[in-house]
Amino acid sequence: MKQMIDGGEVGRIYETRAVVNLGSRTRPDLPWSWWCDASRGGGAFGAIGSHLIDLNRFLIGETAEVSCDLSTSIPFRPDSTGKPCAVTSDDHFAMMMKFGPSSVALGSSALLHVTTVGAYTWFSFEVVGSLKTIRLDGAGRLWEVLNEDAKGGRSLIDAPRWKQVVPMLPWDELVLQEKIRLSSLAVHGIFAVGFAFLAHRVVKALRQGEKTIHDAADFTDGLMVQKVLDAGSQSSRLRRWVKI
């Protein structure tokens, strides 16, 4: 995705959209835990939103301001004795981000919408450009649809003509990709597969005596993601846009 964006293949970036629907906390009888406690870092925003913010930073660049709404659909969960305990963290959220000058999409928007109390699991991250839209799905597959293939009118019947994009990988990662495909790891989705690739690069760097890993996040990346998270929490509390 990054190669396609940086190479101009997507064109001018109009917006990005991330939708994550999880059923991990749907049952009201799920016991109260640290996840329910905002003071201990619980909630969908920190646990899942952080990854989406990081992905936007990696692909597009820095965020200038945010508007966020953190919500809790299930306000109480049972403790170890069965007594209802208040949930202080969010179980779903929606956030708009505006990209700043240190990005390839100054003034463009990013939408993040996440729920952990849905009835099914779904992951989609789209980058909408002037030439094509590209999409990453929950299995880690990359898809594209060309703007020139867009049909006129407002019909909701005809499905978009998504075409799978096969990334160019070095030989050792092609071997790893095939091993993953034939293993049980593949069914666990994009995060598990992504970690396998990261672990492979860590081992490779250690064997070669290298001290850094190309494109891997470092402390500075984590700090910037935390600044956006803090701004999002402030925005939800104040009910307004907050600059980073």
For residues 183-198, give the mean pLDDT.
87
Which residues sit opposite 96 in a β-bridge? 67, 111
Question: 2-167+218-238 has which fold?
Answer: Dihydrodipicolinate Reductase; domain 2 (3.30.360)
Residue found under tokens 């200038």:
64
In this predicted structure, the answer to whether residue 155 has a pLDDT above a threshold of 80 is no
Region label for 146, one of left (φ > 0), alpha (ψ between -120 and 50) or beta (otherwise): beta
Average of per-residue pLDDT across 233-243: 98
- The whole-angstrom distance between residue 15's C-alpha and the CA centroid of its chain comes to 14
Instruction: Provide the b/e sequence for 182-211 (b: ≥16 CB within 10 Å).
Output: eeeebeeebeebeebeeebbeeeeeeeeee
Cβ count within 10 A of residue 175: 12
**pLDDT surpassing 70 at residue 195:** yes
CA angle 210, 200, 5 (to 5 degrees): 85
Alpha-carbon distance of 165 to 150, in angstroms, equals: 18
Kindly report the pTM of this predicted structure.
0.93
Q: What's the mean pLDDT in 15-28?
A: 96
Token couple for 215:
């494109």
Type and span of the H or E element at 129: strand 122-129
Q: Give the pLDDT band (50/70/90) at residue 168.
A: confident
How far is CA 130 from each of CA 11, 14, 152, 207, 216, rounded to the nearest angstrom? 5, 7, 16, 42, 28
Which tokens sit at 185? 């790891």
Locate the domains of the chain by residue range: 2-167+218-238
Kindly report, residue by residue over 31-75, the tens digit of the pLDDT: 999 999 999 999 999 999 999 999 999 999 999 999 999 999 999
Mean pLDDT of 115-126: 96
User: Is 72 strand, coil or helix?
Assistant: coil
Angle at Cα 243 formed by Cα 239 and Cα 244, nearest 5°? 125
pLDDT at position 153: 67
Beta carbons within 8 Å of 14's beta carbon, 6+ residues apart: 105, 108, 128, 129, 130
Question: For the chain, what is the mean pLDDT?
Answer: 94
Q: Which tokens is 7 given?
A: 């190479």
